[in-house]
């Protein structure tokens, strides 16, 4: 697993909580993946979904997520980690139908990356206003 796979696996984890990837989310994801990793969203998501389909237990899912976060922490600058977190927040919380599971998951991912979810949200709001 490389950093691209790790990012995709976290995206799949976040977007599949509500089992919906809206067209606007897919467009935003495609832009992010193409810009940062040179990947097409659909083929990349298909590969990530195939990896996810092999996970059978909650414990395995947690290990898989921890591994993805560890790869990101080792291979991405703090700014890139924040950009990844912001992208995950966009899919999880700003899609108009955030649920408690998404909030808990994003808080966990934020903490494991060494960020505070509330601070990241405040930074995103500040950026949107400017």
Q: What is the CATH number of the domain that holds 18?
A: 1.10.3680.10
DSSP string of 76-104, one letter each residue = S-HHHHHHHHHHHHHHHTTTS---HHHHH
Mean per-residue pLDDT, 58-67: 89
Long-range CB contact pairs, 45-53, < 8 A, 24+: 45/8, 45/11, 45/12, 45/21, 47/5, 47/8, 48/5, 48/8, 48/9, 48/11, 48/12, 49/12, 49/16, 51/5, 51/9, 52/9, 52/12, 52/13, 52/16
The CA distance from 121 to 21, in Å, is 21
Please report where in the chains the tokens 């400017």 appear, as a residue.
130
Expressed as residue numbers, the domain containing 58 is 3-129
* Mean pLDDT score, 98-123: 89
d(Cα 38, Cα 4) in Å, to the nearest integer? 9
Check residue 55 and give its pLDDT: 85
For the chain, the residue count is 130
| Number of structural domains the chain divides into | 1
Least confident residue range of 15-24, 91-100, 103-112: 15-24
For the cut 80, the answer to whether the pLDDT of residue 67 exceeds it is yes
| pLDDT single digits (tens) 1-28 | 888 889 888 887 887 665 566 777 777 7
| Confidence grade of residue 37 (pLDDT, cut at 50, 70, 90) | confident
Q: Mean pLDDT, the chain, as a whole number?
A: 84
| Cα–Cα distance for residue pair 125/89, rounded to 1 Å | 12
């Amino acid at each position: 697993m490389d950093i691209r796979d790790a990012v995709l696996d976290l995206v799949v984890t976040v977007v599949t909580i509500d089992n919906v990837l809206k067209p606007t989310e897919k467009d935003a994801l495609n832009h992010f993946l193409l810009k940062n990793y040179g990947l097409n969203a659909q083929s990349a998501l298909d590969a990530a979904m195939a990896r996810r389909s092999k996970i059978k237990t909650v414990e395995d899912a947690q290990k898989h997520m921890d591994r993805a976060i560890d790869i990101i922490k080792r291979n991405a600058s703090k700014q890139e980690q924040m950009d990844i977190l912001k992208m995950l927040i966009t899919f999880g919380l700003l899609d108009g139908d955030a649920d408690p599971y998404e909030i808990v998951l994003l808080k966990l991912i934020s903490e494991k990356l060494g960020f505070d979810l509330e601070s990241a949200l405040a930074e995103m709001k500040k950026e949107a206003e400017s």
